[in-house]
Chains A and B, each alone.
Chain A
């Protein structure tokens, strides 16, 4: 069975601070995908990034960066110079590829509510 843990339920930062959202996952499978989604107050889940289990390269996209470490089963997300518009719930999720090649459903973490104060 798969499990995703986001231990931080709520985080508050002041604008322009850096913030890291933690994600720890559990799976016995060797092939899997990890995702981060953003859910603003409007409710839509916005895809941010996908990383497969064979690619441990960290990624940077503007103010966003992701640190994937298989050794610790973690896929952490950092926002640099946070802005008020970054306020949202952020979900980490895991998808496992089964032998037939089609990905299984997403297993979500419980989400982290990020509030960026002006």
Chain B
């Protein structure tokens, strides 16, 4: 089945130790998104790619970076995780047409010790 895959599902890192989360999709969608979701809150958009064009939200900290080496893969790099970065990180994809829905992966739950 076509889907959005996130690895790992659970990630533990130490304060200040860089971490990379990955997302892959078999939907061949143009757009890929990264969201941060903290407990009991709605998802918050960090950035998105439309093909290779990168769009950063104004309030996304510099500590968060992203790479999209090809259509199928997108990575979220947290350069120096702080305790406040512990959250669920959700990847989503959308076809390039305006009517299409965002489809989400299962998420990666990040713990920072």
A-side residues, CB < 8 A to B, are: 33, 35, 37, 42-47, 50, 52, 91, 97, 101-103, 105-106, 108-111
Contact = CB atoms under 8 A, between A and B. Distances in A.
A44 B50 CA distance: 22
Contact of B107 (A37, A43, A105, A110): A43
Contact of A52 (B48, B99, B104, B107): B99
Contacts, number: 51
B49 interface: no
A53 B5 CA distance: 31
Nearest to A42: B106
Contacts of B45: 105-106
B33 A43 contact: no
Interface residues of B, number: 25
Interface string B66-109: 00000000000000000000001010101011111111111101
A37 B75 CA distance: 24
Contacts of A35: 101
A87 B102 CA distance: 22
B16 interface: no
A102 B88 CA distance: 27
B18 interface: no
